[in-house]
Amino acid sequence: MSKNVDSSKKAEITMRMSEFEMPPMQDVLIVGRRAPIGPEAARRMVDILSPEQYEIIKLDHSVIEAMVVRKALFNILPKEKLIELLLEEGGKVANESTIVKAQVNIVLQISKSIDL
């Protein structure tokens, strides 16, 4: 007894498009000690796309090896304060094999009074 089996193959294609972020990181990258990309590679990558805009801060930390920070942030907040803050919060989410991207919005509130 013979059986005829009809078979066919189909491919379903889906596409997702979005604008490429320039550079592909925002304000800060928190690099774990065993992350697949090291801080030097991250900085050089970003340097090609946004030259001279990012700085590596190497850290003496059990989990986090370094942070790559947009230099402009240091114009608004002192480096030590910002790093301390990022470590405090980033340390809770990062582990040694991850790279965490952070967006940092700083709003300065200034109030002055002048003599009339």
CB of 65 to other proteins, least distance (A): 9
91: contact with other proteins by CB under 8 A: no
36: contact with other proteins by CB under 8 A: yes
**Are the C-beta atoms of residues 102 and 67 closer than 8 Å to each other?**
no
24: contact with other proteins by CB under 8 A: no
- The strand order across the sheet containing 54-58 reads 54-58, 64-70, 28-32, 99-102
Candidate list 38, 63, 89, 98; residue touching other proteins; CB under 8 A: 38
Site string for other proteins, 97-116 (x = CB under 8 A): x-------------------
Residues 6+ apart with CB under 8 A from 60: none
CB of 45 to other proteins, least distance (A): 10
Question: Using CA atoms, how far apart are residues 8 and 45, in angstroms rounded to an integer?
Answer: 45
Question: Using CA atoms, how far apart are residues 99 and 65, in angstroms rounded to an integer?
Answer: 10
41: contact with other proteins by CB under 8 A: yes
- Residue whose tokens read 């030097």: 40
Footprint on this chain of other proteins (rule: CB under 8 A): 34-41, 97
